[in-house]
Structure formats: C-alpha cells, structure tokens
Amino acid sequence: LELVESLRYEEIISMMSEPLRVDEEEMPPPIPPKGLGHLSSFDSGHHENGESHC
C-alpha cells in the first residue's frame, strides 16, 4: 500500500510539475505587449463588429 501511494504521489507531482513548467515556459511569450495588444485589439474589434452586425 505504501509503495502504491508513493508511486501515485510521485506521478501526481510529476504530472503537476510538467504542466506547470510548460505553462511557465509558454506564458512569458504571450505576456509581452505584442501579445496583449493583439488580444485587446482583437477583442475590441470582435465586440464592435458583433454589435454592428446585430
């Protein structure tokens, strides 16, 4: 039982650590003003377009 729990715990930590590392590595690029500006512009344009279309 102890072995299984230990293995599961390690797997959970590994799974949690893996996604966290990927998120951290992929997060920095989109954080810059370029990504933010593009997102803000797109959101604003989409919203305006949607309202105009309606």
Question: Residue 36: which residues within 8 A CB-CB, separation 6 or more?
Answer: 30
pLDDT grade for 39, boundaries at 50, 70 and 90: low
pLDDT grade for 41, boundaries at 50, 70 and 90: low
Give percent of the chain above pLDDT 70: 30
SS3 state at 31? coil
Which tokens hold the place of 14?
A: 């590994």
* pLDDT tens figures, 8-32: 888 887 877 765 555 555 555 555 5
Which tokens hold the place of 31?
A: 């954080």
Domain ranges, ordered by start, for the chain: 2-53
How high is the pLDDT of residue 13? 78
Q: CA–CA separation, 2 vs 5, rounded Å?
A: 5
Q: Using an 8 Å Cβ cutoff, are 36 and 42 in contact?
A: no
Q: CA–CA separation, 54 vs 37, rounded Å?
A: 26
